[in-house]
Structure 1
Amino acid sequence: MGGFLGAFVWLWFWLKEDERPEPKRLLTFAFIAGMLAIPAALIAECSLSSFVFQKPCDQVSSLEVELLGAPYQYGLVAGFALIEEVMKYIFVISLIFWRKEYNEPADAMIYLVTGALGFAAVENILYLITPFGNTILHGFTIAGLRFLGPTLLHTLSASILGYFIASAFCKNLIGKELAVLAGIFFATLLHTIFNLSILWTGGTRIEPALALLIVTGIVILFSFERIKHKINYIVCLKTDDRSSNG
């Protein structure tokens, strides 16, 4: 339950900003899509780790990771971030983006964030098993840190990708594909910088990472307000209707 609580709080906060609520059925599908992305991400990350260390990923020790040279270490962090962002995107678009209810720019941000929180919920459970196995207090302490850190990170990185997709809602196929690539790049960049900021401080200081998320969050909220009031999609849909009618 502790793993889902933080995700549900952020989900409630995000959805209350939506002036035209999405169907609860599709929001549930998006959340489940994010949860289903976890196994795929773990397999891909394990494969990357095995390639880097030339041994099964479950045999790689934390010491071996620490002894990696900086370029390889940073590359591994960036690789893991890219894998997670891509997997979240693939699973959500596979379950949601082809449906008729996906019909306005802000939907991209709403559904991707919902999926990201499903991903974060399962990730939290995996991380909280050991702390809660020690003491309840330790478990809730770690849960609180994950609420402020990784769970918010997944929310914001998905928001970035969603914003780029929303901005290209009325563009042609090439424009939309470029928007996806740009969104994944900047989402991965945020994810990587956050993880590296934790790595650089040895996990003893979270202030730099939280400052990064707070600044990004403010920008995202303003961006979401802009997307919510974007009406170009109406012209886009009417144009598509005219072209389809010959």
Structure 2
Amino acid sequence: MARRRDLIERSADDSRDLQEISTWEPRTVLDRAACKVYAGISYGLPAILLLAAMGITALILLSPAIVVAEEPLVSVFFLLSVVPAALLAAYIWFADITTKEPLSLLVATYVLIILLAPVAAIVNSAAGLFISDATILGSFLFFFLVVGPVEETIKMVAVRVYAYRSDSFDAVIDGAVYGAVAGLGFASIENAIYIGAYLTDLEAGTGLLVGASEIATTRALAGPGHVIYSTIAGFYLGLAKFNPRNAGPLVVKGILIAAVIHGTYNFSVQFVPGLGAALLPIGPGVAFVGFIIVFNLVFGYYLYRKIDRYRRTYREVRDDAGKRDLTPERTEFEPTQR
């Protein structure tokens, strides 16, 4: 895009020197120093922030790492805890009826959310100092106003800062794919934190492995929820990319839907399984597992309907066009090169 010019520059002839009147170029020592400082900020600050994020993530994962070092077999339970979420994310990737997203962008999104997730943990902890979840009202406010919005926003930031800018992000459905990967990454680090914290207080040996299997099973059931929430938000992020005039409201809508579903799960899982066990001839454990499965199935079906509608419309449009390839158009957000 052509550089916009000041009125004086537009009116003056080319022979007039307009330095620091309406134009500027580095001429003095101070000018060149300012350029160097700006370059340092432009390239150094992101690197510093990235290193800080890596350091915070390392500290948060220190406890799980110690547990694994003492009992390497526990790492198997860490991996098993993310299998259901990984399978769901793989399905979302497979359901992308357009061109498949490159592995490099999927991995980058996964790594970015691993690094950004501690931000959500810090914000949640800070908010917990002011909003107590010990009461029903406090719990409601904490999960709906803090946990849900913060975690779903962080996931979308992980998609927005890199994959969103790529030429490969060339269809609305791609937002769902990258959202699913962000959800998988968030579930991975959250599972590691929960399992590590739970096992730190247990003694090594058989007790440790039994405890690992129990907490890993619980986290395996909860993991797919993160994928469902962020896939929904990611779909709306995809809509935003191809509807720039309404991009802001679309992003907000997606995060709001995901945050409400997320908050509903966190809030209701505290008492609905207990009510189910009290009213039905089932044990607390069965009620707990049953609630999580039913909850994920309900909102998983909602997500399935949204993706299926996109797939069916894609096929119909392609058939109407004589089954020719649908070539994606470049959006105004995309650079001329990858």
**Shorter-chain TM-score above 0.5:** yes
User: Which structure 2 residue ranges, 5 or more long, are not aligned?
Assistant: 1-74, 275-283, 318-325
Task: Name the structure 2 match of 1:164.
Answer: 236
Mapped partners of 2:247, 2:169: distance in 1: 15
Higher RCO (C-alpha under 8 Å, 6+ residues apart): 1
CA contact (8 A) 2:195 2:216 kept: yes
Q: In structure 2, what is the equivalent of residue 3 of structure 1?
A: 78
> Residue 90 and residue 35 in structure 1: after superposition, are their counterparts in 2 closer, same or farther (change >3 A)?
same
- Once the two structures are superposed, residues 34-55 of structure 1 have per-residue CA deviations (whole angstroms, 9 ceiling, x without a partner) of 21121110111122112336xx
Identity of aligned pairs, percent? 20
The CA distance in 2 between the partners of 1:101 and 1:72, in whole Å, is 43
Stretch deviating more after TM superposition (164-173 or 72-81) = 164-173
Residues 1:23 and 2:67 are matched in the alignment? no
Greater gyration radius? 2
Counterparts of 1:137 and 1:92, CA distance in 2:
36
Q: Secondary structure at the match of 1:100?
A: coil
User: In 2, Cα distance between the equivalents of 1:202 and 1:39?
Assistant: 29
Q: Residue type matched to 1:148 in 2?
A: L
**Which of 195, 198, 209 lines up with 1:128 in the alignment?**
195
In the alignment, what sits opposite 1:108?
Answer: 175
Moved more, 72-81 or 220-229: 220-229
1:185 and 2:263 equivalent? no
The code of the aligned residue for 1:139 comes to A
Find the residue that maps to 1:85 and give its secondary structure: helix
Q: Which residue of 2 aligns with 1:237?
A: 329
In the aligned structure 2, how far is the partner of 1:91 from the partner of 1:41?
Answer: 12
- Counterpart CA distance in 2 for 1:43 and 1:96 is 25
Q: Deviations over 1:188-207 (max 9, x none)?
A: 11111111121124774323
Measured against aligned partners, the alpha-carbon deviations of 1:201-236 in whole angstroms (never above 9, x if no partner) come to 47743233431210111221221122345558x698
Distance 1:86-1:168 versus aligned 2 partners, 3 A rule: closer
- Equivalent-residue separation in structure 2 for 1:229 and 1:177 (angstroms): 27
Distance change (3 Å), C-alpha of 1:221 and 1:46: same
What amino acid maps onto 2:94 in structure 1?
K
Q: Show the counterpart of 2:308.
A: 225
Output the CA distance in 2 between the equivalents of 1:236 and 1:127.
42
Q: By percentage of residues, which structure has more helix?
A: 1
- Aligned equivalent of 1:44, options 123, 126, 140: 123
Instruction: Let me know the Cα RMSD of the aligned residues.
Output: 2.7
Whether 2:138 is the aligned partner of 1:72: answer yes
Residues 70-106 of structure 1, C-alpha deviations (whole Å, 9 max, x = no match): 3222101221121111111112211211111111111
Cα distance in 2 for partners of 1:238, 1:11 equals 26
Q: Secondary structure at the match of 1:113?
A: helix
Tell me whether 1:84 sits opposite 2:151 in the alignment: yes
Shift of the 4–32 alpha-carbon distance from structure 1 to 2, 3 Å rule, reads farther
